[in-house]
Each structure stands twice: as structure tokens, then as C-alpha cells.
Amino acid sequence: MKSPWPKVRLGEVLQRSEETVALQPDVSYREVTVKLWGKGAILRGIVTGAEIASSRRFVARAGQFILSRIDARNGAIGIVPKELDGAVVTNDFPLFAPDPERVDSAFLGWLGRTRGFVELCIRASEGTTNRVRLQEDLFLALEIPLPPLAEQRRIVARIEELAAQIAEARTLRQQAAEEAEALTAAIQSTLSRSQSPGQISVGDLVGGSGLKNGRSVKPTDSESEIRCLVLSSMRNGRIDVRDSKPVPMSHVEAAPFRVRRGDVYIIRGNGSKVLCGRAGLVTDEMPGVVFPDLFIQVALPRDRVLPEFFVAAWNSSALRSVIEEKARTTSGIWKINQGHIFSTRIPVPPLPEQRRIVAELDALQMEVDALKRLQAESAAELDALLPAILDRAFKGEL
């Protein structure tokens, strides 16, 4: 941690806080924890004194320096925010009051987010595997570069100014991606209804045997040539056949449930109502993949409806409101059944119109995907900016 400033021992500017409170069984207390990699002190939860396995706890005060004995070497370091003033911590989260005449708490907070400071905490941590902990005496003996208070405050102001600009840029990027997604959904809903001569029920479209539930089978840790899709395989109207787990099934047992390119499935059950009843299209094929009992296969008549169009129409906002109205929950799982799907009515325009709609949606999706890639690249660049700024700041170059 090279800098032009004189070094001081942490013990010279930090005073261990010993303030405690006697816990009352019927009183609620806010508990504090510290997130890894400079993410700071946050509320862990609110519990009653009766739920805490001790009679006393240390009291955190706003502006105090806090760290985790176990994870300081992983960047679990921060400053107690105003909203957590008076919250309680265990002895695993020692608290230190900065000397206000020598060090600005915000300066310490930003310093604690640097790689150099984390390396100091690693040096102050000792113990065997899985029991490595920060040793307080070693920590307080560590030296940090410390400019005068006025310079500390100038540095803090400059860091916070730049950090605010980074946060604003990240927010704008995220908003752009969200707006593009919303535009896609709106156009998808509009196009799937456009120029349609009417709507028909899925039952009339696919017939009485056009829906099929998947196979209920538990994954295995053993090698298997048969793999079963998992719920997360369905994303944004597409099904990734690689997102699957091995299951103990023979090829004969698996045959009726094989997944093939062009298949359409609807999620029968999910813990999230928003995901329950979503449809997805299989765009790739992989040998030995089957679909689970939480998926319902939809056997579409290709001479009447394109799979891509069906998925777009089914997942449109207009039909989502219908599906979510039909969904029912038991034990925290939202479900729909074949009857719900059969009775749902969808637009089925002529095939040429369907092809036009699918082409427009595909073109728009390509633009959204390109924007997302740009957003991801920008996010990575923004993530790298703050550490670079902090490195310069504490070398006296900001």
C-alpha cells in the first residue's frame, strides 16, 4: 500500500468498542452482519432476545468500523450506517470507534474496500483450515497510510463523486435493458393478436390427446445416458437441453418422454406464480434427454400453428393474465393443469401472418440480445472502475 503519506498503526486511530446491552426476552433487536468484498454492513434480521443464544450483545453505533473475524480476509469490512445505529452484533464482529481528530470514518470505509487493506487483514489472520480468524492484536498493529484530515475529506468527496457517476451509469444501462425487454413484451403481445380472425381454445387446436405430462423421476449421482430437464432449463421462451440432470431410466422407459427439436412445453408448476404456466420451445437436440412431470408437452398441428408463434402468443401479457388467474397454489407451489391449458383461448392467424410476426419478434430479440451483451460488457467495465479509482486514491494520485 504505497503512498506519500506517513503511516500509523490502526491501534493509534481505532478504539475497541465495549458497549453492550443486556438482552430482554420480549424485546426485538436488529442484528448486523458484514458482506464480503467491501459490500459493507447490513441488517441480518430482527429477532427477539429470547431467540438469541446469549444474555448480552455488543451495540453497534453509526460510523464505527466493523469487520468479521472470520471473513475480514475476504473483504467483510465496513462502516456501520446510520440506519443500523443501536443494532447488536456478536463478538465475531468487533467494533472500533475511529478517533475523530485523526481519521475520517468514511475514509476508513473506502480504505477497507481496497485490495491492499484486505491483504493486511489476511496477514493479521491466523488459524488452521476452516478456523482462520483475524487476531485483534495483530490487526491493531497493522500500519496504514494516513494523510491529514482535510486531505482525507477531500479524497472521500472525490471518491463519492466518482462512485455516484459509476452508479448512475450502471442504473442507466440497466434501465435501457429493462425498457428493451418491456418493449419486446409489448410488441410480442400486440403482434400475436394482430390481424387474427379470432381465437380458439388450445383443446380445439391440439385435440384431446394433444397434451402430455412428463415423467416423475428423481435425479441420480450415478452416470446415466438418460438426463431429465430441470425447471431452470426454460428461460425467455426457450428450453436449453443442456440444463438437465442424470436420471435412473432405461432407454425404453425414456422413449415416450424424449425431448426433440421443435417441441413446445408449458411449465405445470413452479414456486413463482410469474413462471408458472410459461411456455418454451426446444431449439437444439441432445440424445437421451426427457422432460419432467412439471412440464406439459403441447403437440401442435404444424399445418395450423408455428411453434415459435404459439410460444410468443402464449407468453404474451394478455394470455399471462389469463393463466395467472387460473393458477392455484398448494404448499407454496403454483400449478396449472391440462384442463386450464385446454380451455385457454389463443389467436391463430394464417400461417403467413404467423411467419411475419415471428420474423419481427426475432429481429427485435436480436436487438435486445445485442443490447444485453453491451450492458454486460459495460457492467464489467464499471465494476473494474471503482477498484481502480480506490487504488489511485490511496496512492495519493486522485
- The DSSP line for 373-386 is HHHHHHHHHHHHHH
Cell of 130: 476452516
Burial of 155 (0-12, 13-18, 19+ CB in 10 A): buried
Name residue 143's amino acid: E
- Per-residue pLDDT tens for 90-111? 999 999 999 999 999 999 999 9
Name residue 219's amino acid: P
pLDDT, residue 189, reads 61
Cα diameter, the chain = 82
- Using DSSP's 3-state secondary structure scheme, residue 139 falls into helix
- Using DSSP's 3-state secondary structure scheme, residue 106 falls into helix
CA–CA dist 210, 201 (Å, integer):
12
Residues 113 and 107 sit within 8 Å (Cβ to Cβ): no
Strand 77-79 versus strand 40-48 pairing type: unpaired
Residues 388 and 397 sit within 8 Å (Cβ to Cβ): no
CATH topology of domain 7-146: Adenine-n6-DNA-methyltransferase TaqI; Chain A, domain 2 (3.90.220)
DSSP assignment string, 265-276: EEE-EESSTTTT
Residues 227 and 289 sit within 8 Å (Cβ to Cβ): yes
Cell of 155: 479524497
CA–CA dist 156, 162 (Å, integer):
10
CA–CA dist 398, 389 (Å, integer):
8
CA–CA dist 183, 361 (Å, integer):
11
CA 274, 301, 217 angle in degrees (round to 5)?
A: 55
- Using DSSP's 3-state secondary structure scheme, residue 345 falls into strand
pLDDT, residue 363, reads 82
The CATH number assigned to the domain with range 198-348 reads 3.90.220.20
| Bridge partners, residue 78, by sequence | 66
Tens of each residue's pLDDT in the chain, 398 residues = 566 899 999 999 999 999 999 999 999 999 999 999 888 999 999 999 999 988 999 999 999 999 999 999 999 999 999 999 999 999 999 999 999 999 999 999 999 999 999 999 999 999 876 788 999 999 999 999 999 999 999 999 999 998 888 888 878 777 776 776 676 666 666 655 554 556 899 999 999 899 999 998 888 888 889 999 999 999 889 999 999 999 999 999 999 999 999 999 999 988 889 899 999 999 998 999 999 999 999 999 999 999 999 999 999 888 888 999 999 988 788 999 999 999 999 989 999 989 988 888 888 778 777 777 777 777 777 777 888 888 888 887 77
- Per-residue pLDDT tens for 148-199? 999 999 999 999 998 888 888 878 777 776 776 676 666 666 655 554 556 8
CA–CA dist 265, 280 (Å, integer):
5
Type and span of the H or E element at 96:
strand 95-98
pLDDT, residue 238, reads 93
pLDDT, residue 342, reads 95
From the list 136, 143, 75, the residue with the least C-alpha distance to 109 is 75
Contacts of residue 359, Cβ cutoff 8 Å, sequence gap at least 6: none
Type and span of the H or E element at 80:
none
- Output the CA torsion sign for 202, 366, 178, 231: positive
pLDDT, residue 396, reads 77
Rg of the chain taking only CA atoms, in angstroms: 29
